[in-house]
Each structure stands twice: as C-alpha cells, then as structure tokens.
Structure 1
C-alpha cells in the first residue's frame, strides 16, 4: 500500500533509484513479517541495496509514502545504520533535501516508535552537520516543537534532544545552548499533558548527565533536581515503574558524577529514594533502584544528610525494608540466588556502616537491636543479626564496646526455632570474629561452645554458616584453641563425611 502524497523533497535532485517503490515496500513488509523462509532471501536483497548510497533515498521515499507503520519503522532503522557512512558522498543539494525530509516526517509521523527512529536518524546527520555550523534549522525546529500546542510535537522535541545528547560530538556543539536546553527539559519534566513527554525528558537528562563535567552539571542540571523529584514522586504514587526508575537513575547519576549538583536537595533526594523503596506496588527492581539511590547519596553527600539529621532515619527505614517478609519456607530449598528486598536493604546497611562514622548511627542501631531481638516476628530477629553482622566492619569500634550486651543476644539467636534466625546469628559470629578482634576473643570459649551445638543443627545451611563462623574465629584464637582442638576436629571430620559440598569446603 502506497499513500497518495507527494515527495516533500528530492524531486529532480534525487539520485537514480536503486529499487522501485513497490518492490521495496513488498520487500520491507516481508522482512518485517519475519517469516523464516523469506527472511534470508530478503536480507540478501537488502544487503546488496544497502551498499549503494542512492538506496538511502529510496528508503526515505518509503518512510514518507508507506501507510504500513512497520515498513516506515524498518526504513528508518536501515537509514540510521547506513546514512553516516554515505553522508559525505551525497551532493549538497541532496543532503539538504534529506534534512528537510527528516524534519517534515518528524512533524507528520503518527507512530511514536517510528518518530523515535527518525529522531535517531536526525542525530546521525547532526553529527556530520552541527560541528560544521550547519543545520541550524534543527535547533530551531526543536524549539518550535517544544512550544507547540500538540503534545505529540512537544514529545518530538524531547525525543530529538535525547537523541542528540547521546552523541559526545553533538553535545560539544550544543554547549553554547546549554541553558536553553536545560530550560526546555525543565519544561518537559513539568508537562503532564502526556506521560511520554516527561519520560522523554528524563531519558534526555540521563544521557546528558553522563557526559557533562561537574561544573557544567552544577550550572545546568542543579535547577532540574526539584522538577525531577516532583515528577518521580508523582509517578511513584501512580506505580509507574518506568518513569520512577528513570528518575532514580538520573538522580543517582548526578549524585555519583556531580554530587554538588544536588545542592540543598540531597536530603530530599534520599527521602525520595526511600519513598520508592517502600512503595510495594512498584516492581522489586524499581524499589531496589530507589535503595541504590539512597546508598549513593549517603556515599556522596553524607555531610549534608548528617546536617539534616537524616542518617538515623535512613538506618531505621532501611532496617524496616530488611525486615520485609519473603516467601521462603525456611528450609534448605530456599532459593538463595533470588534477590529480595531483604537482600538489597542488607547491602545498603553495609554501605552505610562503611561510609558513616559509627558515632552518628550507633544509637539508632542499638535501639533497633533492643526493640527487635525478642520480636515474635522471625524476619525482624533475622534482620537484627544481619544488620549486626554486615555493619561490624564499619562500626567495629562501637560494636566492640557493646559486646557484653550483644553476645548473649547472638547466642540466643543461635538457638532460635527458625532456620533463618539461626543462620543469621552464625553469620554475625563470623563477621564479629573477622572485624571485632581482639575483643571478641574474650568470648572465645562461650562462642565455641555455642557453635559446637550449631554444628549438630538439622539444617544444612545453618551448619555451613557455623563452619564459616568457626573458621573466622579459629583464625585468631592462637593457642587458646588447644583445649577444644580435639572435639573440634572430631566434629569437623563428621561434617566432612556427611555434609554437603559447600559445608565440606568450609
């Protein structure tokens, strides 16, 4: 099917056609259909034609005239792949006509996916033209679209900017226009006429944040942090995973590469990350992206969070996420490879302990242990030990001072009725043995006695954790291990004969 419209460009300046329009239409339809028997022959025909610069013009005709969206989409993709290699071989008049066709199609193309592919073609052409000071019409077109009354055209401006900002060469050319682009993207972030507009603006920001140096990011992107937060909060409340995750990723990119760009918004960015992580209607991957944002802000803007007195609150909220119940049945068939919110939150607790001075968070840790170690909820008790174990390195000095209170709680955990709690308690002993010596050695006999009992545990994974704890503890005991060496070896020999491969390796 061919639409009865005239060419917007080319005319007499079009190079001699490589393939008739009807033949190309049929070929692209067959290829798009993906029928196995025809794809090979179709690919061969296309590859032969794609070696000729004039075929780009044939594809542009198909892009304009075909009523089949899949044909227009495939034509745009093929043009993008080859036009860069052929650009210099086109006469100047043909180059101008190609640029005219692209801008015309961006205005008239009804399908979003095809518009995005045409924008990608425009970006390739821009790489060849903008560095030479040519195609100023493109920037004027972007500004014109950004002010249009139709949401589709405003989306086109965002998509075009996003495509351009993915190219380092083009970004350098756009540097004099950074302030204008920043204002354009800010407007796109606040545009609620279509969800596609702020989504495209965020994607453009994501590309831009990766190529700007720190000074440029502070100047250009800092004013966009609050619009990003407003958009992210709205999409998180609406359970829009794609845009919410995009907002988290853009803010994390800023926090990692240009932390100063967050300015006075560091605390609000961390709160936004927590809000996303705690929003259970969102997908786990999106929620974990929120947690990752929190960890990055803690790493890059710790002092700002401390000044806002937010660090203890962050620990509390992340601990609550660590307590989130999973669907495991507390037996050895639990899939340890499937990451849960508990795992993600535990990793963030470890990051916090490494990045934050213990004096700023030890009080809240102590309060959480006190409030939860006797909880009726086994997931909360497990999280107490996971928190203690993973934060032992970063908070070693503070933890050493609290061993007289903490160790009885850990021993109690090793005798808990739930597998998950006993396993976590053994993990804590192992981490304490690695990072709290020599103070932990004062508890050597009592700890060995506790671990000896756990070696008889009915659950394989608990015995494995006990072996890990024994290995870590015995490494530092020195001659103090001699009185218990014989019974220890006896028990280990039994495990070598009867334990799993993982336990035997321990």
Structure 2
C-alpha cells in the first residue's frame, strides 16, 4: 500500500474511533446496507479497527449499544459484540486491557437494566451469555451471578425474563459452574413458575429450569426439581386457557426436549403428564400445531427406550388412547381428483398435515413399542374402521396397517399363522363331521 493510501486509511480509522460518534455510526449502518459495495467497504474498515485498536472498537460498540437512539444500531452493536466475544478465530477478549474489560462488563449489565426493546434485550442476553461462558468458570465476572439473582428477585418482569434467558444459555454452555447454586436456582425457578403473572417470565423460567435439569449429571440432583413439574405443566395449561397458542407451543417444545433427554425425570408423575398431553391432542378446538406437539411429546417418551426402558408400555390405556387419536387424524383426507391421475404412490394429493403427522407417528410408535404392545391395540380398533360404511375409515385402517407393519412384522405374521391354523382346524372338523 502506497504512503498516501496508508495516510488516508489512518485518517479514516482516527475518525471512526475518535470522540465523534457519527463516523462510527455510519460504518455500522453501512454494515447493514443492501448495497454490496457499501457493506464490503464497511466490513474492511471494521476488520481494520479490530486489528489495530480492539479496545477502542469494543468500547465504541458498547457505547453505541448503550446510548444510540436508533433501534437498528443498538441491535447491530449487540450482534457485533457477541461475534467478537465468541471463542473462535475472532475472539477479542484476550487482546483487551483490564480497563476495557471492566468497562464492557459494566456497560452490558447497565444495558440489560435500561433496554426497553424486547428483541434487543434478547440479543443483549445472548451477548452476555457468550462472554460469561468464556470467563465465568475462571471467576472472570464475579458480579454477574449476584446481578442475575437480584434480577429474578426484582419486581420487574423484564429483568426477570432477561436473567432467566441468561441462566438458560449458561446451563447449556457451562452448567458445572452453576451447579453449586442448585438450591438458590431451585427456589427462584419454583417461585417464578408458580407466582409470576407474566407468561413471558414463566416461559423463560421454564426454559432455564429444563436446561439446568439437563446439565445436572447426578440423578439425585435432578430429582430435587421434581416439585417443579406441576408448575411446568400449569404454565402450559394457563397458556392454552388464555388462548395463547404461541406460548403453549414454546412450552411444549421445551417439555419435548426434557422428555427426550431426561425421560426418567417424568416417571413419578407420568400418568398426569401423559394424560394432560393426550387431552391436548384430543382438543380439536386447539391449533393443529399445538395438538401435534402434544402427540410428539408422547411419541418422544415412547422412543426413549434406552434411557427409560418400558416406561410407556406400563400405560396401556394411554397407548390405546393415542392410537385412537392417530386413527382419527388419518380421516382428515380429501378425495382429491389428482389421486386418479397420480403417477406414483409418493404423490400426496388430498393429504393434510393431520394425516401426515398420524402416518409418521404410527410408524414411530410401532417401532418404539413393538408388536406385542401395538398389535392388540390395533386388533381392537381397526375392525370397527373396516366395518364402517365410510371410505375414509377403510382407507385409514389400511394406511394404519401399512404404517405399523415395520415395527409389528413378527407379531402380525404370528397372528396370521394362528388364524390360518384355526381355519385349517375348522375345515378339518367340518370335514370329519
């Protein structure tokens, strides 16, 4: 690079990182530009700032996050800070002075308290979690956990939610560091799940509690959180009763994750939990997505054979009820004219999401529970479908047989052989007499 270009570049950097905030804000706005040329120039300048003066760049981002009146600029600052604080090739933390580190940590906690935008608050929590996961295990941020416990004990739903969002991520990243605080965490989870009037706080607490339970390696420690389960389920039912399907679906997705990773955690209250899920699945007034997630929860438990062998087989009444729900969903199909011109069986003309989910779940259920459990249930329910006058019921019965065939092949073959032998014996008896 010639001396003139070098001088120009140095002048640009001095302006961008100088006391006037306008040049830096222009660079940040250009990083969000739809113009490839502007964005490329801004990226080059940003990377140059990072290489030459990481302290000034970090503080500029932090102050923009703290004081910019523009939502987009604050959001971009949070995102960029997180990228610089992620432990990869661009990790800046080791290159920062102690003074910059201290200022950054202080500004981040201040922003959590002051930020009004919900979307930016979530990005802030991501940034704090990213930094904390790298420095908290070495006691590099001793103020953080006291601050978070103060937030969850405050009267501010916004601060409570932010603290739980951070707890949820830290449980995933550095759960061992949080484990010594198990007693305190249990208390705040239980309190917020049972008493908070805010559905957002309850969902955030549910997320944090489930993530923390999953990070505990000791089953005795996990069992200490058993008394949270009724409150977890209440969070779900309250969302449904209030018509808040989005919150309910978020709660269901979290509970599905728990069922998949720690199914034994549910064993003591299995009847109540599975019963509630099937009740949701049967409620046709609810959104299909909500009902499908409730079914997914039960199927996930059935598939958890290695972690909780035989747990679902001990509930035959629920298996029969789930099978009936799936059979009814198979009826949700139209006699589409496209069927008559379909060139392959892969074409799904006339199929609905209910129909597709039922197909998949019957297949998974039969494979996970096996023929000895599923065939008796099918033998009880399918004859009624085959005997009915509606073509949809005939179709549903045949589809169900096809779907359970893989998981029930041996038992189905044995049943067919037994029926064949009975016919042979009956024929012999009739011949003799």
Q: Into which bin does the TM-score normalised by the smaller protein fall?
A: 0.7 to 0.9
Counterpart residue number, 2:9: none
Q: How many residues align?
A: 394
SS in 1 for 2:254: helix
Residues 325, 188 of structure 1: CA spacing in aligned structure 2 closer, same or farther, 3 A cutoff?
Answer: farther
The equivalent of 2:239 in structure 1 is 235
Query: In the alignment, what sits opposite 1:28?
Result: 28
Residue of structure 2 in register with 1:132 after alignment: 138
Contact 2:301 2:312 in 1 (8 A): no
The Cα offsets for residues 94-122 of structure 1, whole Å up to 9 and x where unpaired, read as 32222111111100111111111222221
Equivalent residue for 2:324? 316
Report the counterpart of residue 261 of structure 2 in structure 1: 257
Corresponding residue for 1:111?
A: 117
Q: Is the 8 A contact 1:21 1:61 kept in 2?
A: no
Structure 2's unaligned 5+ residue stretches are 1-14, 425-433
Distance in 1 between residues matched to 2:291 and 2:62, nearest whole Å: 43
Q: Select which of 360, 366, 380 maps to 1:353.
A: 366
Contact 1:400 1:439 in 2 (8 A): no
**Counterpart position of 1:18:** 17
1:389 aligns with 2:402: yes
- Give the counterpart of 1:199 among 199, 203, 211: 203
Q: Provide the aligned C-alpha RMSD in A.
A: 3.3
Kept after mapping to 1: 8 A contact 2:199/2:235: no
Contact residue 145 and residue 157 of structure 1 kept, 8 A: yes
Partner Cα distance (1:251, 1:217) in 2: 19
What CA distance in whole angstroms lies between the structure 2 residues aligned with 1:206 and 1:373? 44
How far apart in 1 are the matches of 2:340 and 2:369?
Answer: 35
| In 2: Cα distance, 1:371 partner to 1:18 partner | 77
Matched ranges for 1:139-158 at <5 A:
139-158=145-164
Q: 1:288 to 1:160 in 2, by over 3 A?
A: same
Matched residue, 1:488: none
Alpha-carbon shift at residue 360 of structure 1 (Å): 4.6
Alignment of 1:209-220 (within 5 A): 211-213=215-217, 215=219, 218-220=222-224
Q: Which residue of 2 aligns with 1:336?
A: 348
When residues 220 and 326 of structure 1 are mapped into structure 2, their CA distance, relative to the original with a 3 A threshold, is farther
Structure 1: gaps of 5 or more residues: 1-15, 404-435, 444-506
Question: Could you say which residue in structure 1 is the equivalent of 2:75?
Answer: 73
Residue 42 (structure 1) shift? 2.5
CA contact (8 A) 1:353 1:393 kept: yes
Q: Is the 8 A contact 1:318 1:348 kept in 2?
A: yes
Q: Deviations over 1:325-368 (max 9, x none)?
A: 35744434594297722222223223333343655554442232
Give the CA deviation at 1:138. Answer: 1.0
1:139 shift after superposition: 0.9
Structure-2 change in CA distance of 1:327 and 1:101 (3 Å): farther
In structure 2, distance between residues paired with 1:82 and 1:223: 40
**CA apart distance, 1:315:** 2.0
**TM-aligned CA distance change 1:383 to 1:114, over 3 Å:** same
C-alpha distance in 1 between matches for 2:205 and 2:340: 47
Closer, same or farther: CA 64–360 of 1 in aligned 2, 3 Å: closer
Counterpart for residue 95 of structure 1:
101
Correspondence for 1:53: 54
Q: 1:199 to 1:303 in 2, by over 3 A?
A: closer
Higher mean alpha-carbon deviation, 28-37 vs 130-139, is at 28-37
Equivalent in the alignment of 2:429: none
Q: Judging changes above 3 Å, is the alpha-carbon distance between structure 1 residues 17 and 399 closer, same or farther for their aligned structure 2 residues?
A: closer
Query: Within 2, Cα distance between the matches of 1:438 and 1:47?
Result: 76
Evaluate the alpha carbon distance shift between residue 401 and residue 129 of structure 1 in structure 2; reply closer, same or farther with a 3 A threshold: closer
1:217/1:261 contact within 8 Å kept: no
Gap change, CA 1:299 and 1:276, over 3 Å in 2: same
Quick check: 331-340 or 18-27, which moved more? 331-340
